[in-house]
Structure 1
Amino acid sequence: MIKYPFLETGATIGVTAPSSGVPGELHKLLHSAMKSMEKKGFNIISGETAWTQDKAKSASAKKRAEEFNEMMINDNIQLIIPPWGGELLIEILEYIDFDNIQNKWVLGYSDISLLLLAITLKTGIATAHGTNLVDLRGEYSDDTTAMWQSVLATKERESILQHSSDRYQKEWQFDKPTPFIFNLTEQTYWKSTVSDKVKLQGRLLGGCIDTIRHLAGTPYGDVHNFEERHIKGDSVIWFLENCELSTTDLRRSLVQMKLSGWFDNCSGILFGRSSANTPVTNYTVEDVYIDLSEELQIPVLYDIDCGHVPPQITFINGAYAEIELDKGRGTVLQTFN
């Protein structure tokens, strides 16, 4: 069984940086995000790590883990949202107190997805892959991003439906600020390796492939044990996004995941839009998707709303999902059972 947290109105958010903190020159972004959340009715408790950054991390591994562990057992905190991702979250895993993970939401993406996936695989508690805190600093959120709150306020045994975005952001335009942070200029169009109409069903697992691939073969990435203990009989739908990998590095990572058994019980794979996916000679990312789809004999959907090219749908690790693609448009129905 999967255990689902529930976000109540007026909840208190714990802000901690298990990966990168916010350097001094960007503190205004974090202040702005916190004020924005307070206007929405949330309370904020901030840790020290959110405000510090040196040598590619907010603090030492032990300090980062200690602050996260404290927020996890603090009954006054109902939701944990890091400021953003980073590079070296993997350093803290051995210090995380997985035996005392509480049934409360942790929300984020990028390097944070490593912690999210580890928590769900180790404990069976659902985690939320979606927006980070800094990108909630606008006057309001676009329709896709804004769904994070409704998703996290979904009750057990109920369902929540999300739709693909109308437009996405190709690049940051800091000289053209918008009330909802992102510059949504490009037409969203989901694609598939098999057909322009696809239906998938299964349990969601995933994150940023740059980071979660490093869980394979460790005690924090035991997918088979998770399947046996928590989702007996259900297949897995993987949602993945590529931050910085070339096509050959992406391919190597996917093969490693396959050889580790992560795709043994997989009904489909979703890939987010990416500004990376750099071709090597004439080996393109579409080639990667086709190779994977043919090897596993499953549909691969790509250019979906997930990851570093916003906006993004809020995907819940562990939730039962029905994914539909119909001529470029997508829907994600998640049921908390």
Structure 2
Amino acid sequence: MITYPHMKKGATIGVTATSSGVPLELHHIVKEASARLKERGYHLQCGETVWTQVKARSASAEVRAEEFNRMMTDDQVDLIIPPWGGELLIEVLEHLDFESIQSKWILGYSDVSMLLLAVTLQTGMATAHGTNLVDLRGEEYDATTAMWEQVLSTEAGGEVIQYSSEKYQKEWDFENPSPHVFHLNETTEWKSSTGQKVEVEGRLLGGCVDVIHHLVGTPYGDVSTFRRQFVEEEPVLWFFENCEMTTTDLKRALIQMKLAGWFEHCSGILFGRSAANTPVEGYTTEDVYQDLTEELGVPVIYEIDCGHVPPQLTLINGAYAKVETEDGKGKVTQWFK
């Protein structure tokens, strides 16, 4: 059985930088996000790692792990939202106390998705792939981002429905944030490798391909044991997003996952929008998706609201989901069962 945390009203958010911290010149955006969340009724507890960043990490692996472990066992902290992602979260995994983790949401994406997936695979506790802390600093939330609160407030046994966004942000303009941080000005269009209407369901697992493929072959990437122990061998519906990979990098990572057995009993694959996906000698991401459909015999839905090209859905590792897309629109229903 999957364990589903529940976010209560007035929750205390623990902010810890399990990957990158925030350099001095950007401390103001963490303070802005904290102020906005306090206006919404939350309390915040920021760890020391949030405010430091040296050599591509907030602190040593041991210090980051200790702060995370402490917050995960602290009854005064209700959920964890790191400030953002980074580069070297993988250093932390061997120092985490998975056996002592309490049931509380961890929300984030990018490098943090490695932590999310590892926690769910190791413990059977659901984790939340979605917005990070600094993107919650706006005066208001766009409709897609705003769903993080409803999703994390869903009771165990309940269901929650999300829809594809109307618009997405093609390029970041960090110097001129909008009232909801993002500049949503490009029409969202979900697509499928078949070009037809698609309906697919299964247990959600996924994250940023750049980092989570490094879990393959480690104790933290044992998908088959997870399926056996926690979801009664149900099929997996994978969701991925690509931060920096070329198309051939992406294909290599996906083949690695396939050879490791990650796609056994896979019902389908979802891919988020990407500003990367650089073609190599004419080999495009559409070619990658078509190859996957043919090799695995499952549908691929792509350009979904997930990852580094916002806004993004709140997708729950471990939840049972049904994803539907037709005529460029999408619907995601998640059951916390």
Amino acid at match of 1:71: M
Q: Distance in 2 between matches of 1:156 and 1:232?
A: 18
Is residue 237 of structure 2 the alignment partner of residue 237 of structure 1? yes
Q: Distance in 2 between matches of 1:146 and 1:181?
A: 12
Deviation (angstroms), 1:195: 3.2
Is residue 89 of structure 2 the alignment partner of residue 85 of structure 1? no
- 4+ residue segments displaced more than 3 Å: none
Give ranges in structure 1 of 5+ residues lacking alignment: none
Q: Distance in 2 between matches of 1:132 and 1:291?
A: 32
What is residue 132 of structure 2 aligned with on the other side?
A: 132
What is residue 334 of structure 2 aligned with on the other side?
A: 334
Write out aligned runs for 1:44-83 (5 A): 44-83=44-83
Amino acid at match of 1:219: P
What is residue 8 of structure 1 aligned with on the other side?
A: 8
**Secondary structure at the residue paired with 2:219?**
coil
Contact 1:196 1:328 in 2 (8 A): no
Q: Distance in 2 between matches of 1:171 and 1:195?
A: 26
Q: Distance in 1 between matches of 2:180 and 2:305?
A: 16
% identical equivalent positions: 62
Deviation (angstroms), 1:175: 5.1
Write out aligned runs for 1:259-274 (5 A): 259-274=259-274
Write out aligned runs for 1:185-200 (5 A): 185-200=185-200
Write out aligned runs for 1:1-337 (5 A): 1-174=1-174, 176-337=176-337
Q: Distance in 2 between matches of 1:253 and 1:233?
A: 24
**Secondary structure at the residue paired with 2:102?**
coil
Deviation (angstroms), 1:176: 4.1
Q: For residues 175 and 105 of structure 1, do their structure 2 counterparts lie closer, same or farther at Cα, with a shift above 3 Å needed? A: closer
**After superposition, what is the alpha-carbon deviation per residue over 1:62-113, rounded to whole angstroms, capped at 9, x for unaligned?**
0000000000000000010000000000000000000111100000000000
Deviation (angstroms), 1:183: 0.1
Amino acid at match of 2:73: I
Amino acid at match of 1:158: G
Give ranges in structure 2 of 5+ residues lacking alignment: none
**Secondary structure at the residue paired with 1:50?**
helix
Deviation (angstroms), 1:177: 2.7
Deviation (angstroms), 1:8: 0.1
Deviation (angstroms), 1:178: 1.1
TM-score, normalised relative to structure 2: 0.99
Contact 1:198 1:325 in 2 (8 A): yes
**After superposition, what is the alpha-carbon deviation per residue over 1:3-38, rounded to whole angstroms, capped at 9, x for unaligned?**
000000000000000000000000000000000110
TM-score, normalised relative to structure 1: 0.99
**Secondary structure at the residue paired with 1:264?**
coil
Q: How many residues align?
A: 337
Q: Distance in 2 between matches of 1:35 and 1:261?
A: 45
Q: Distance in 2 between matches of 1:175 and 1:202?
A: 40
Deviation (angstroms), 1:140: 1.0
Q: Distance in 1 between matches of 2:206 and 2:98?
A: 19
